[in-house]
Amino acid sequence: MSKNRSRKNKGGACGMNKQEGGKDKKDNMAAQAGGNKDKKKGGKTRRVSKGASEWNKKVMEVYRDMKKKDKTVRLGAAMKRASEMKKRGEL
């Protein structure tokens, strides 16, 4: 990359300044703060959480039991133990 190119973009994040037809920083921040309060058309809709799944409840139960015995245990270890228990038919 040439030195001239890096100096040209030094003015801002998007490389456009007020003279080139872009908004200055204050106008851009004000637009973001006001935000798009209207619903976006044609976008993806968000799913509503239905609460913890049965698996998550079982993993958290195993995690709490392990935590009582050893305070340094991690959730990943509880997931592995719960998986092993499920394979053996204990969960």
DSSP letter string, 76-87: HHHHHHHHHHHH
Q: What percent of the chain has pLDDT over 70?
A: 55
Helix (H) or strand (E) holding 64: helix 54-69
62 CB-near residues (< 8 Å, 6+ apart) = 78, 81, 82, 85, 91
- Quick check: 23 pLDDT over 60? no
Torsions phi, psi for 41 (to 5 deg): -90, 135
* Mean local confidence (pLDDT), 52-80: 96
Q: Please give the model's pTM, rounded to 2 decimal places.
A: 0.47
Q: Is the dihedral of CA 15, 21, 27, 29 positive or negative?
A: negative
Q: End-to-end CA distance of the chain, in Å?
A: 59
Q: What is the pLDDT of residues 26-64, one digit of tens each?
A: 565 555 666 555 555 678 888 888 888 999 999 999 999
Every domain of the chain and the residues it spans: 54-88
